[in-house]
């Protein structure tokens, strides 16, 4: 059985090729790097140049745009959108329907609440509760 591809034309008229990820069957650009242990839901997308690291989860309807990085054990919630070149830190959680703008950073262990918009270029930090949840704060 060969690898099957799905092709889309982007806003600029460029043809983009995606393949189904081995863990979850979500659509991953052929130029994205997604670890085999990461889960990409069948209704999720990972765009060109993005990186999804070990143990990360991209949930139903989520979209990781070009050049974004999703670090180890991070979760991108249902219908959440991660902007171009944004970085989601280790063990961070982006809640359902939340949006992280282009070039924004969500720090390690931070929890972005449901429907919150992290503005482009912003630095979203973990709260004390977030850190305690992971045993990282006294």
Domains in the chain, please, with CATH?
Answer: 5-133 (2.160.10.10)
- This prediction has a pTM of 0.90
Instruction: Find the helix or strand (DSSP H, E) in which 43 lies.
Output: none
pLDDT per residue as tens digits for the range 20-44 = 999 999 999 999 999 999 999 999 9
Beta bridge partners of 33: 51
3-state helix, strand, coil in the chain (%, to 5): 5, 35, 60
pLDDT digit string (tens) for 69-127? Answer: 999 999 999 999 999 999 999 999 999 999 999 999 999 999 999 999 999 999 999 88
Pairwise CA distance, residues 14 & 89, whole Å: 30
| Distance, CA of 84 to CA of 6 (rounded, Å) | 21
């Amino acid at each position: 059985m060969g690898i099957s591809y799905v092709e889309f034309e982007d806003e600029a008229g460029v043809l983009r090729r995606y393949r189904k990820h081995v863990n979850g069957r979500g659509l991953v650009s052929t130029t994205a790097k997604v670890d085999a242990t990461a889960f990409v839901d069948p209704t999720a997308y990972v765009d060109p140049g993005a990186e999804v690291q070990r143990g990360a989860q991209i949930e139903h309807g989520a979209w990781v745009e070009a050049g974004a990085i999703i670090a180890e054990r991070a979760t991108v919630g249902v219908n959440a959108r991660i902007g171009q070149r944004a970085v989601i830190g280790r063990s961070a959680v982006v809640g359902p329907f939340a949006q992280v703008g282009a070039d924004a950073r969500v720090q390690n262990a931070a929890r972005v609440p449901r429907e919150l918009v992290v503005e482009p270029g912003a630095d979203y930090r973990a709260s004390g509760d977030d850190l305690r949840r992971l045993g990282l704060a006294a």
